[in-house]
């Protein structure tokens, strides 16, 4: 494994336990999606791997070496796109990307070629010579991505790189992420976009309150779900919402919607039940869909939210 993390714990000075006995691995050529609520400990994890934050306990091995004891090696081996926007005042995207490539040791020729290739691949050539202070948030974010990957280390870590980016260019960025892995890098990508992650990563780690709540390929995480369909009812305004049937799983009811998770074996009776409600106008409409990875993610983190609250109580 290129990156091996064992029992990593980080407690900040005021007692915040940002990472709690966390273990994970990432191999060469692998894209790992790191999911988790705000404050789950994702950025803290990346900062420790990059040698920027000292762990309280546990070990990190990057290609067998310790990035904490050898931060100069960590800087060479890791490329990190920070969650905060890159400071681009006074420089154009082309200049910023080329400067980073040169700082990371790329030859002038190679950095120039790679910069042009990235600008074209992300379809941002139009802004290549625009001063940083005149760029939109999305183009700034894409520029920061290029800065991180122009001369990539063996491990590339991207902290919410698709924030502010339009859907078309997000896809172009994911293609570049995959290309990094194909070229032999290991990639860790922090994202809140579960649907995108499901399409594009090899493996997912869900962090919750600093520890690993679930890990696996998107397909493996799907198989862990107790139900595989979701029935969504649009309630008729002013009508009392129906009682969820006994065979239904977890129900989530808001003013206008009821969402019920069900096993596929119960699909016929779920449809019959919903049709009957529709015929009596108790509901305006219904939709039966396969459960999404986002539903599974919400279930995983909700459950442990409740556990956490119980422990805290």
Nearer to ligand ATP by C-beta: 130 or 302? Answer: 302
> What ranges in the chain are assigned the alpha helix state H?
42-49, 71-77, 93-103, 108-121, 137-149, 167-182, 194-200, 218-224, 267-279, 293-312
Site membership for ligand ATP, residue 290 (CB under 6 A): no
Site membership for ligand ATP, residue 16 (CB under 6 A): yes
Which of 40, 187, 205, 277 touches ligand ATP (CB under 6 A)?
A: 40
Spatial contact of 155 and 26, defined as CB atoms under 8 Å apart = yes
Nearer to ligand ATP by C-beta: 36 or 106? Answer: 36
Site membership for ligand ATP, residue 161 (CB under 6 A): no
Site membership for ligand ATP, residue 81 (CB under 6 A): no
Footprint (CB under 6 A) of ligand ATP, residues 18-37: 18, 36
Question: Nearest distance from residue 94's CB to ligand ATP, in Å?
Answer: 29
For residue 41, what are the contacts with CB-CB under 8 A and spacing of at least 6?
A: 10, 18, 19, 20, 22, 207, 209, 210
Spatial contact of 200 and 208, defined as CB atoms under 8 Å apart = no
Nearer to ligand ATP by C-beta: 83 or 215? Answer: 83
Tell me how far the alpha carbon of residue 126 is from its chain's centroid.
Answer: 28
Distance CA(177)–CA(110), nearest Å, equals 19
DSSP 161: T
Nearer to ligand ATP by C-beta: 83 or 252? Answer: 83
Spatial contact of 245 and 273, defined as CB atoms under 8 Å apart = yes
Nearer to ligand ATP by C-beta: 39 or 184? Answer: 39
Nearest to 204 by CA among 142, 141, 289, 296: 296
Site membership for ligand ATP, residue 43 (CB under 6 A): yes
Nearer to ligand ATP by C-beta: 16 or 120? Answer: 16
Distance CA(122)–CA(120), nearest Å, equals 5
Site membership for ligand ATP, residue 89 (CB under 6 A): no
Nearer to ligand ATP by C-beta: 39 or 105? Answer: 39
Site membership for ligand ATP, residue 189 (CB under 6 A): no
Nearest to 248 by CA among 219, 283, 274, 281: 274
Question: Nearest distance from residue 56's CB to ligand ATP, in Å?
Answer: 12
Spatial contact of 259 and 251, defined as CB atoms under 8 Å apart = yes
Helix, strand or coil for residue 239?
coil
Site membership for ligand ATP, residue 84 (CB under 6 A): no
Spatial contact of 277 and 231, defined as CB atoms under 8 Å apart = no
Nearer to ligand ATP by C-beta: 80 or 111? Answer: 80
Question: Nearest distance from residue 34's CB to ligand ATP, in Å?
Answer: 8
Site membership for ligand ATP, residue 44 (CB under 6 A): yes
Site membership for ligand ATP, residue 103 (CB under 6 A): no
For residue 86, what are the contacts with CB-CB under 8 A and spacing of at least 6?
A: 96, 140, 143, 144, 147
Per rule CB under 6 A, count of chain residues that contact ligand ATP: 13
Handedness of CA 285, 289, 294, 298 (dihedral sign): positive
Site membership for ligand ATP, residue 39 (CB under 6 A): yes
Question: Nearest distance from residue 39's CB to ligand ATP, in Å?
Answer: 4
Interface residue list for ligand ATP (CB under 6 A) = 12, 14, 16, 18, 36, 38-44, 83
């Amino acid at each position: 494994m290129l990156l091996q993390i064992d029992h990593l714990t980080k407690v900040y000075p005021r007692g915040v336990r940002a990472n709690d006995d966390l273990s994970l691995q990432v191999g060469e050529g692998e894209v790992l999606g790191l999911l988790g609520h705000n404050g789950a400990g994702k950025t803290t994890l990346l900062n420790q791997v990059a040698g920027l934050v000292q762990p309280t306990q546990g070990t990190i091995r990057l290609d067998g070496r310790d990035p904490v004891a050898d931060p100069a090696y960590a800087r060479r081996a890791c490329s990190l796109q920070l969650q905060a926007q890159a400071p681009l005042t006074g420089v154009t995207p082309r200049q910023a990307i080329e400067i980073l490539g040169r700082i990371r040791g790329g030859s002038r020729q190679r950095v120039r070629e790679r910069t042009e290739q990235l600008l074209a691949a992300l379809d941002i050539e139009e802004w290549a010579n625009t001063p940083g202070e005149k760029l939109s948030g999305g183009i700034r974010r894409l520029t920061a991505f290029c800065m991180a990957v122009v001369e990539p280390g063996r491990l590339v870590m991207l902290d919410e790189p698709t924030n502010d980016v339009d859907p078309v260019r997000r896809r172009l960025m994911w293609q570049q992420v995959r290309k990094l892995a194909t070229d032999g890098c290991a990639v860790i990508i922090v994202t809140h976009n579960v649907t995108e992650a499901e399409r594009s990563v090899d493996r997912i780690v869900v962090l919750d309150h600093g520890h690993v709540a679930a890990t696996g390929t998107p397909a493996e995480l799907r198989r862990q779900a107790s139900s595989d369909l979701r029935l969504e009812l649009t309630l008729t305004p002013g009508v009392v919402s129906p009682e969820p049937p006994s065979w239904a799983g977890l129900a989530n009811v808001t003013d206008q919607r009821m969402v019920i998770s069900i096993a596929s074996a119960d699909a016929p009776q779920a449809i019959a039940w919903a049709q009957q409600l529709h015929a009596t106008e108790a509901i305006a409409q219904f939709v039966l869909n396969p459960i999404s990875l986002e539903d599974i993610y919400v279930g995983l983190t909700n459950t442990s939210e409740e556990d956490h609250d119980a422990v805290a109580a």
